[in-house]
Amino acid sequence: MHTETEENYLKAIYHLSAKRAEPVNTSSIAGSLSTTSASVTDMLKKLAEKNLIEYERYRGVRITRKGEKIAINIVRKHRLWEVFLTQTLKFRWDEVHSMAEELEHVSSDELIKRLEEYLGFPRFDPHGDPIPDLTGKISAPSSLCLASGECEKRYTLTGVNDHSVSFLQYLERTGLKPGITVRILEIQEYDHSMLIELKNKIKLSISNDVAKNILVKNYGE
């Protein structure tokens, strides 16, 4: 197989590719892996040699089908372990990322198949991100964000755009967990902040920045 490091590079490149159509550049990879551009360059040569990426000096990188398959499998493992950690071991959703980061590399495909079955074939992880199936197919995640919601309507939280621990902990503290339902009471004209009501009648004001990072579906859908 591949080394853990190679897997981490492929995963980073895969995630960065998803955000933009252009090739991924060296420094953004270095940024997301907290390493230097020089180290990235070295690794890119190695990955290109193995046909896992297409790489042209000074021109950035695209992931190949072969590389993408590996990356998606890592993402699949990561997200299934996240479900296990929250659902079975009762961790909070803001605690599981770093543990899943370790577990994603160690597990045989057979182990993951059994885990998926045990968990009941979940389609989304605790942050609302879709879990690729065995063949690499990925359901469309919710694309509706709370910021584009309308007054007086109800929405069910399904996920987040910002996966940072600080954002997740903010949501956790305010009670905005995936699965809960909110109603929009008011939207302020000047800063687009909104007043929302939770199930337990608690009212909460959230900034537009926050609302843009919360994914929802229409209540009852």
Partner DNA sequence: TCATATTTTTAGACTAATCTAAATTATTTT
Partner DNA sequence: AAAATAATTTAGATTAGTCTAAAAATATGA
Residues that bind DNA (CB under 7 A): 3-6, 25-27, 35-46, 55, 57-60
- CB of 66 or CB of 153, closer to DNA: 66
Q: Shortest Cβ distance from residue 106 to a second copy (Å)?
A: 4
Binding marks (x or -) toward a second copy, 56..85, rule CB under 8 A? -----------------------------x
Residue 90 binds a second copy, judged by CB under 8 A: yes
Residue linked to tokens 């996920």: 159
Cα separation, 159 vs 143, in Å, equals 9
Binding marks (x or -) toward a second copy, 7..46, rule CB under 8 A? ----------------------------------------
- Out of DNA, a second copy, none, which partner does residue 90 contact, by CB within 5 to 8 A per kind? a second copy
Among 20, 50, 89, 180, binds a second copy (CB under 8 A): 89
DSSP class per residue in 84-111: IIIIIT---TTTHHHHHHHHHHH--HHH
Task: Read off the tokens for 17.
Answer: 């590719």
- Out of DNA, a second copy, none, which partner does residue 66 contact, by CB within 5 to 8 A per kind? none
Torsion of CA 79, 82, 83, 89, to 10 degrees: 160
Residue 55 DSSP SS3: strand
Within 8 A by CB and 6+ apart from 50, the residues are none
Residue 165 binds a second copy, judged by CB under 8 A: no
Residue 105 binds a second copy, judged by CB under 8 A: yes
Q: Shortest Cβ distance from residue 195 to DNA (Å)?
A: 40
Radius of gyration (C-alpha) of the chain in whole angstroms:
19
Look at residues 11, 118, 114 and name the one whose alpha carbon lies nearest to residue 67: 11
Backbone φ and ψ of 124, nearest 5°: -135, 150
Which residues would be at the binding site for a second copy (CB under 8 A)?
A: 85, 88-91, 99, 102-103, 105-108, 111, 114-115, 118
